[in-house]
Each structure stands twice: as structure tokens, then as C-alpha cells.
Structure 1
Amino acid sequence: MDARYEAKYHILEEEHWWFRSRRHMVYSIINELNLSASTAILEVGCSAGPLLLKLQQAGFTNLTGIDVSETAIALGNERGLKCISVMDGAKLAFPDATFDLVIASDVLEHIADDKLAMQEWARVLKPGGKLIVFVPAFQHLWSNHDVVNHHFKRYSKVELKTIVAQAGLNIKRASYWNFSLYFPTLLVRKLQNSVTSKSALPDDDLQQLPTIVNSILTNLVKLENKLLTKVNYPVGVSVFVVAIKA
């Protein structure tokens, strides 16, 4: 991602509604897996480690995080995380069958060879190990935000399931996420794409919001997350898969 955007990202990733509600969903999925405290967990694209810190506080003791950004890892070290390091998410320096759980939230879309990356994540899973992967949904939601983030693509549920299955993993669940904001986002994207000059510098959607707005959006998506434990959504701003290595 662009350096200017990354600096803002690290300021907002702890409290911004998007990151808080997505971590809430990831953590909800982890809770459903009924893992022991000693479960070997790898987070690919851990940034400065807010999810790892949450897992650490919950009692998990065997945590590993990697990120391609030296800035992110340095900040995570400052926050007290010593289990993180700089590494390419598509070229993991771990032996086969190292981890019980691999988590990758909004990482795959940053990697040119997404099939290779998925094969790597499957490779380091132990037999019976699980994968949780989130990616941005639907190419028709593509915007300047994707450009600033250096995304290669957005995914449909079918596309994500196909890549996961091709890596030899059995899909246990697949759903869209952030349903209620899909239609407003679609409308905004259509308006943005119709008026944005091709010569204009791309801008991102990550902005500091008033506290009350940030709180409302956080609680809205967290409510959706609770419903998502019982149903799958037909559309959403993101899509996720939970899979297992046979």
C-alpha cells in the first residue's frame, strides 16, 4: 500500500469501525472452533498486531504473525508483540504442517499469484488444521480505494471457494460479510466511478469519523456478525471462507 495510506492505516486500525467489526467476526469464528490455548496460530498480514494482541489477551500462547511491511512489524514490536516478523505471505519460511490455524484477513487480494499464496497457506497447515480467509467482494465494487491499497482484484464467493479448493482444502463454510452496507457501497461506487476523472490521483475510503458515527457503524456490523453465526449472507462488501486440511 502507499506510504501515506499506510501511516493513516496504522493510526486507525485499532478503533476504526471497519477493523473493529472485522476482528470481531474473525474472533467469533475462532471461538466457534473451540481451540485450546496452545493451538499454533499463524496470522498472515498481521499488520501491527491488533488481532494477535486480542488473542494473546484471551489466553492463546502459541501465536505467530507475519507481514510484508517493516513499518507494521516495528510498530507491533513496540506494542509488545515479539512473535511477529517481516515475511512475504506468498513465500512462507515455515516447514510443512506447522500450524493448526492460519488466518488471512484482506491479504490475498494484495498478492499477484493468489493461487500460489493459497497453496503456501495450505502447506503450513497440519492435517486437520483450519484456514480463515477474508477478501474484498465483487469486482463491480472496485474503486480508487482498491488502487491505493494495491489490490489485484476483488472476489466472488465462487472464485474464493475455487482457489481454496484447488489448494486441497475442504470448505466448511463460505459467506459474504457486511451485508447491510453492500447496497450503500454499491451506490457510492457507481457515483464515484461516474464522476472521477481518470487523471485525478486516486484517493482511499479510510477516514477518521466522528465518534458517534464510528460507534454506530461498529455496533451495526457487530449485530450482523451475531446473525451471521446462524445464516449466510447472499451479498456483502467482503467474502470469507473457513476451510480444513484433510
Structure 2
Amino acid sequence: MEKGFEEKYHKIEKEHFWFKSRRNYIRKLLAKYPKDATILDIGCSSGILLDELKQDGFAVENLYGVDISSIAIENCKKNGIPNAYVMDAQHIELRQKFDIVIASDCLEHIEDDKSALKNWNNLLTNQGTIMIFVPAFMSLWSHHDKVNMHYRRYTLPELKNKMEHTGFKIKKSSFWNFFLFVPVYLFRKIESTAKKTENNTDGDLIDKPFGNYFLTQLINFENKLLQVLNFPFGISVFCIAKKNMALHPTKDE
């Protein structure tokens, strides 16, 4: 991501509705896992999620983070996550195998996403779970994607297809941030037509306390609905998957 955007990102990532509500959803998903599970957060940024998982009772020595930004990893270590490393997400080299791998808004930053998915598959234990969130629909492409240095946005069939062809078996998939899709779509189309993005280095990041609180509550409500249904569209798309053991030799980890 561009330098100006990264500086703003690190200032607001802990409380910003988008990141906070997504972390809340991931934490609910992980609540059923044993507290000694080994967890890798790819694109961990300042380690906010890993720190929250530590507070949830997960063993800190089993929490790992990688990020291509040295600033992010420095912040991560300051937040009490010692197993944090500057590393290219496409070529993660760790001896550890993981019960859970999380990649939130990371895959779209990688030119060869299939190569990255193969690498991430190899990082999982035989019974491991991966959770991948990516931005949805090229029709939502905007200046926000440019300052984030995205290569693409995904459809749900595209993400599922790429994951299945790189050794994953999908357990749940859905769009996320359903309620904000229409207003964000309209905003980006108006913004694009008005061409008022040239000097904007913040993308769509907002830092308004009241709006942030309201949107956090809205998406937390959406998170509860995701426990019993899937959404037909949204600003993001995600897949939760296991390693497809039919494509891997069976052996003890």
C-alpha cells in the first residue's frame, strides 16, 4: 500500500469499523478451537487480531504473524507478539505447521495468487483450517484499490475455484459487508465520475467516531446472521476451507 495510506491505516486499524467488525467475526469463528492451536495471521499488520486472540486465551507462543511491512512487524512486536516476521506472503518460509491460517485482505495484493494459495496450503496441518477474506467485484474497483496496490477484486466462484484448484476443500463461503454494498457502490461510481480522487491518499478510510460506532454495530449484526445464512453479495467475499486430503498423501504431521 502507498506510504500515506499505510500511516493512516496503522493509526486507525484498532478501532475502525471495518477491521474491528471483521476481527470480531474471526474471533467468534475461532472460539470453538482449542487454546493451544497454532495460528498464523498472514498480512498481520500491527498484530491487533493476534493480540486479541491472546486476550481470548490462545497461547502467545503459538501465535505467528507475517507482513511485508517492517513498520507493521515492529508494531506487532510492540503489541506483544514475538513470533512476527517481515515476509512476502507469496513465499512464506516457516518450519511451523499451523492449525489455523488467516489471510484478511491479503491475496489481492499478490500478483500470482495461485502460487500464494499453494504456499498457504503447505503451511497447514492435515486437519488445518484456512480463512481467507478478499475484496469483491471488479465493479467496485476504485481509487481505494489503487492506493492499496490491489491487483484484483474477486467474485465468489473465482475465489472458490482458485482455492479448490490449489488443494482446499471449501467448508463455508459467503459475501461479507452486505448492508453497505449499495451505498459503497453508488459512492464509488459518483466519485469516479467526479474524478475527485487525485490527491486522496486515504482511500475509503473514515475516522468519524459516531459513524464508526454505528457501522461497527451494523456489521456485528451481520456477523450474527452469518452464523445461519450466507449473503448473495457484499463488499468482501470469504472462504473457510480445509486441506483437501484426497489431493495429499496421508501421513502423520
Aligned-pair CA distance for 1:202: 5.1
Give the TM-score, by structure 2 length: 0.92
Query: What letter is aligned with 1:36?
Result: P
Deviations 1:112-158, CA, capped at 9 Å, x for gaps: 11001011000111111110000001000000000000000000000
In structure 2, the partner of 1:106 is 105
Q: 1:57 aligns with which of 55, 59, 62?
A: 55
Aligned-pair CA distance for 1:194: 1.4
- SS of the equivalent of 1:43 reads strand
In structure 2, the partner of 1:18 is 18
In structure 2, the partner of 1:80 is 80
Query: What letter is aligned with 1:172?
Result: K
Please give the alpha-carbon distance, in whole angstroms, between the structure 2 residues aligned to 1:220 and 1:35.
26
Aligned-pair CA distance for 1:196: 0.9
- SS of the equivalent of 2:91 reads coil
Aligned-pair CA distance for 1:161: 0.4
Residue 231 (structure 2) pairs with residue 220 (structure 1): no
Aligned-pair CA distance for 1:77: 1.4
List runs of 5+ in structure 1 lacking aligned partners: none
Please give the alpha-carbon distance, in whole angstroms, between the structure 2 residues aligned to 1:202 and 1:212.
22
Please give the alpha-carbon distance, in whole angstroms, between the structure 2 residues aligned to 1:55 and 1:135.
21
- CA contact 2:129–2:240 (8 Å) conserved in 1: yes
- SS of the equivalent of 2:89 reads coil
Aligned-pair CA distance for 1:201: 4.2
Aligned-pair CA distance for 1:166: 0.9
Aligned pair count?
241
List runs of 5+ in structure 2 lacking aligned partners: 246-253
In structure 2, the partner of 1:189 is 188
Query: What letter is aligned with 1:9?
Result: Y
- SS of the equivalent of 2:228 reads coil
- CA contact 2:18–2:216 (8 Å) conserved in 1: yes
Aligned-pair CA distance for 1:207: 2.4
- CA contact 1:147–1:202 (8 Å) conserved in 2: no
- CA contact 2:114–2:162 (8 Å) conserved in 1: yes
Query: What letter is aligned with 2:102?
Result: I
Deviations 1:52-109, CA, capped at 9 Å, x for gaps: 00111111111111100000011111222212111111101124x7111100000000
Deviations 1:204-237, CA, capped at 9 Å, x for gaps: 111211x221111100000010011100000000
Please give the alpha-carbon distance, in whole angstroms, between the structure 1 residues aligned to 2:150 and 2:141.
9
Identify if the C-alpha distance between structure 1 residues 51 and 197 changes in structure 2 by more than 3 Å, giving closer, same or farther: closer
Please give the alpha-carbon distance, in whole angstroms, between the structure 1 residues aligned to 2:176 and 2:196.
30
In structure 2, the partner of 1:147 is 146
Please give the alpha-carbon distance, in whole angstroms, between the structure 2 residues aligned to 1:52 and 1:188.
33
The within-5 A match list for 1:28-67 is 28-31=28-31, 34-61=32-59, 62-67=62-67
- CA contact 1:64–1:84 (8 Å) conserved in 2: yes
- SS of the equivalent of 1:150 reads coil
In the TM superposition, structure 1's runs of 4+ consecutive aligned residues that sit over 6 Å from their partners are none
In structure 1, the partner of 2:178 is 179
Please give the alpha-carbon distance, in whole angstroms, between the structure 2 residues aligned to 1:60 and 1:174.
25
